[in-house]
Amino acid sequence: MSYETILVETHERVGLIRLNRPEALNALNSTLLHELMSALEAFDADDGIGAMVITGSDKIFAAGADIKQMSQASLVEMLKSDFIPAFERIRKIKKPVIAAVSGWALGGGCELALACDMIVASEKAKFGQPEINLGVIPGAGGTQRLTLAVGKALAMEMVLNNRTLSAAEALHHGLVNRVESIESYLESALQLAAEIAARAPLAVQFGKEAVNNIFELSLSEGLAAERRAFYTLFATADQKEGMAAFIEKRTPHWKGK
Ligand code: CAA
């Protein structure tokens, strides 16, 4: 499938999606967002792929929603728009998605990174929610996921006063998993994705779902769901293989069954 605003590659069991609207600093217009979600869904449905990486360029991850596209929109047009609902599609992806961020991840760009399961940042990465400068607020999860990630005090400053975070600050506050040099951040994200993609696929899927439950369910519901998922994995060939391999002191061979 060919796309207008993204570039898609496969690296063995890892699907890589590059945001590619350099003329608009990868601003997320409807076309880009729909292409991105379609590519993620295609990788999610492909048994040959175990994890995905989303990146921009070394200079910019994404400058947010496309301000030119929405500047004259009416309330009714915004309500009818499929732009922000497109962000929701990323929540339904079962396989892990890693954002490899360099340069600005602003507004919807920061929200896109936050919607991924993990973030690998370059030392040049910068994160912010500058919507207040435009007379609006984040609309694609910025007030929610950001607050869960960095806590209320810092999220308030970011949303209300355009406080931005350097890569080092983002690491300190738990927004990103690791910070790498500009030369190695993408390779590091691909390596992390490849390692996860080589693991037992159903355990990875259940693990992702169980961790994400903390954002959706009460603790007792989340613990009950985790326990059910743990027991359910005993119906898989990979659980028998994984435990047998441990006892026999050999490397397990996963079947995804
Ligand atoms: N939408 C549309 N076009 C954008 C854009 C955006 N979000 N960000 C940058 N561009 C365009 C610029 O208009 C410019 O185009 P022209 O050459 O045609 O004028 C081009 O990209 C280059 O931009 P700059 O000249 O501004 O580049 P810079 O290096 O001086 O600054 C920047 C870079 C700091 C990222 C700056 O472009 C900027 O602040 N962008 C806007 C960031 C922003 O406000 N994002 C939030 C959007 S709202 C949102 O995301 C809502 C939501 O929650 C979903």
Ligand 1 atom closest to residue 64's alpha carbon, by position in its atom list? 50
- pLDDT value for 170: 98
| pLDDT for the residue 2 | 87
The pLDDT, as a whole number, for residue 25 is 97
Mark the ranges of the chain whose per-residue pLDDT is less than 70. Answer: none
The rounded Å distance from CA 151 to ligand 1 centre is 27
Listed residue (42, 179, 198, 176) closest to 116, CA to CA = 176
Pocket test for ligand 1, best of 20, 21, 25, 72 (most atoms within 8 A of CB): 25
Closest CA to ligand 1's atom 27: 25
C-beta 107 within 6 A of ligand 1: yes
Q: If you measure from the C-alpha of residue 243 to the centroid of ligand 1, how many angstroms do you get, rounded to a whole number?
A: 51
CA of 64 to the centre of ligand 1 (A): 7
Q: Among residues 50, 43, 47, 45, which one has the least CA distance to residue 17? A: 43
Residues serving a catalytic function are: 65, 108, 111, 131
CB-ligand 1 contact for 240 (6 Å cutoff): no
Ligand 1 contact via 141 beta carbon (within 6 Å):
no
Looking at the CA of residue 65, tell me the nearest atom of ligand 1: 50
User: What's the pLDDT at 82?
Assistant: 86
- Whose C-alpha lies nearest to ligand 1, atom 36? 63
